[in-house]
Structure 1
Amino acid sequence: MGSIRDHKRSPYSRVQGDIKGGGKQLNPNELWQINVASGTTQARIWARTSCQFDASGRGSCQTGDCQGLLECKAFGSPPNTLAEFALGQFANQDFIDISNVDGFNVPMEFSSNSPGCSRVIKCTADIVGQCPNELKVPGGCNGPCPVFKTEEYCCNSGNCGPTNFSKFFKDRCPDAYSYPKDDQTSTFTCPTGTNYKVIVCP
C-alpha cells in the first residue's frame, strides 16, 4: 500500500477497514510503512491529536479518538480528516479520496508517484481556524452530519445535495469530499497495485 508520514505535529495515526486494527504515534518526519494484506478491499486512515495513553494502550485523544484505545477497534470519533481507499475495484482500478464528511482535524495529502499514476490530493486549508461556529469543537471542525444527524447532511437515503456547510469545506479543499454524494469531483483512480503515501500536516 505505502506509507504514512507526519511532517509537523505528533499525531497518532490509525488505519481501519479490512486491516484489523492499528495505531501508532508518529513524531515529526517519522514514517510508518504499511503493507496491506492481499485481498484488502477498503480502509481509511486518519490522524488523532492531543493524545495521552498509558503503558497498557488506554487513554484518549482530543480528535479522532478510538474508544480510548491506542490500537483502534472501530472508526475514530469525528472530527477527523480521512484518507480513504478501495483497492482492486472496477477495471482493475483503485479508488482514493480525502474526505471531510466527518469533519477536519489535520491537513492531509494523499498521493502516489508510482509508474503509471502520479496523483496528488491535498486538503491543507485553515479549516479549524475558519470553522463555522455551529461545527467548532476543540482541535477540529466537525462535519454537519455528526452534529445535526439529519437526512439533509447524512444522506442515508442516497438522495442529497450540497449545503452551505458542505460548500464551506469544498471552497477550501476542492479535491476532498464535502458531503456523502460528492463523488464527481472527489474520487480519483490509479491502477491496482499502485503504492500510496499519506502525509499528515504536510
Structure 2
Amino acid sequence: LAHTQAATFDITNKCPYTVWAAAVPGGGKQLTNGQTWTINVAAGTTAARIWARTGCNFDGTGHGGCQTGDCGGLLNCQAYGTPPNTLAEFALNQFNNLDFIDISLVDGFNVPMDFSPTSNGCTRGIRCTADINGQCPAQLKTQGGCNNPCTVFKTDEYCCNSGSCGPTDYSRYFKTRCPDAYSYPKDDQTSTFTCQGGTNYRVVFCP
C-alpha cells in the first residue's frame, strides 16, 4: 500500500459537562470541558465510529456504565455503543483512495457534534448542532437523548432490514434539523462526504 500512514483524530469536548468519548477502533476516555483526546487510526480502517457517552460511572478497573452510548459497560470501548448516540462514522483509504465520512443519527442523538477534516486541503466539515433532544418527539424521548425510531418500534419501515425503505416522519424530524446527517439507513446521497486518503480529522462535541 502506498498510503500506510495512520490518520489522526483529535476529539474535543466543548460541552459544559463531562463526556466519555468512545472510539471503535480506539477505546474510550473521559473528557472534561475543553479536554482533547487524540487517537491514531490505521490506514484502510472501515466501519469505524466515534461518539460521546453521557452520565457514566466507571470504577478503577474501567467497568461501569453510561446513560447514553454505553459500550458493554467498559470505559475502553471494544464494541459499538447503545442508542441513542450521535455518531461520527468513517472508512479510510477506500475506492480511489478516498476517505468516506458522515455524521449519523440512525442510532438517534445524544450530543451535538462537528466532524471536520483538518488537513490535506479538504475543507468540507459536517455539523449537527440543533436542539434535537429538547424538541424530540414524545415517542422517541429517552433519558439523555432522542432515540431513533428503529430502536423504539423495531419495524422494517424504520429499521430498513429489507433494504427498500424511505424517509419517514421521524427521520424527517432529524433531517430538517441536521440536513448533512444520516437520518435513516438509506440516506446516502446527502449525507456522505469524501476527502483524499491521508487526511486528518477532528470531532468536537458541542461545537
TM-score range (shorter-chain normalised) is over 0.9
- What SS class does the counterpart of residue 94 from structure 1 fall into? strand
2:179 to 169, 174, 177: 174
Within the candidate set 10, 13, 24, 2:18 is matched to: 10
2:67 paired with 1:59 = no
Which stretch shifts more, 57-66 or 174-183? Answer: 57-66
- TM-score calculated relative to the size of structure 1: 0.95
Q: Describe the superposition over 1:48-77 as per-residue Cα deviations: whole angstroms up to 9, x where unpaired.
A: 001111111111111001121111222111
Please state if 1:139 is matched with 2:144: yes
4+ aligned runs moved over 6 Å, structure 1: none
Please give the per-residue CA displacement for 1:11-41, whole angstroms capped at 9, x wherever unaligned. Answer: 101111xx2x501001111111111124423
Secondary structure at 2:18 match in 1:
coil
Structure 1 or 2: more strand by fraction: 1
- CA RMSD after TM alignment: 1.0
Alignment of 1:1-202 (within 5 A): 1=7, 2-8=9-15, 9-16=17-24, 19=25, 22-202=27-207
Structure 2: stretches of 5+ with no match in the other structure: 1-6
TM-aligned CA deviation for residue 91 of structure 1: 1.1
The amino acid that maps onto 2:11 is I
Unpaired segments of 5 or more residues in structure 1? none
Q: Measure, in 2, the Cα distance between the counterparts of 1:182 and 1:59.
A: 34
The 3-state SS of whatever aligns with 2:38 is strand
Which whole-Å CA distance do the structure 2 matches of 1:158 and 1:12 have between them?
33
Measure, in 1, the Cα distance between the counterparts of 2:32 and 2:138.
31
Q: Is the 8 A contact 1:42 1:87 kept in 2?
A: no
CA shift, 1:198, in A, is 0.5
Secondary structure at 1:119 match in 2: coil
Query: Separation in 1 of the partners of 2:187 and 2:47?
Result: 18
Judge conservation of contact 2:120–2:196 (CA < 8 Å) in 1: no
Residue type matched to 2:150 in 1?
C
CA contact (8 A) 2:44 2:94 kept: no
Contact 2:103 2:115 in 1 (8 A): yes
Query: Is the 8 Å Cα contact of residues 127 and 178 (structure 2) preserved in structure 1?
Result: yes
TM-score by length of structure 2 reads 0.93
Worse-matched range after superposition: 48-57 or 113-122? 113-122
Structure 2 residue matching 1:167: 3-state secondary structure: helix
Could you tell me how far apart the structure 1 residues matched to 2:154 and 2:161 are? 10
Question: How far apart are 1:10 and its partner, in Å?
Answer: 1.2
Q: Percent identity?
A: 67
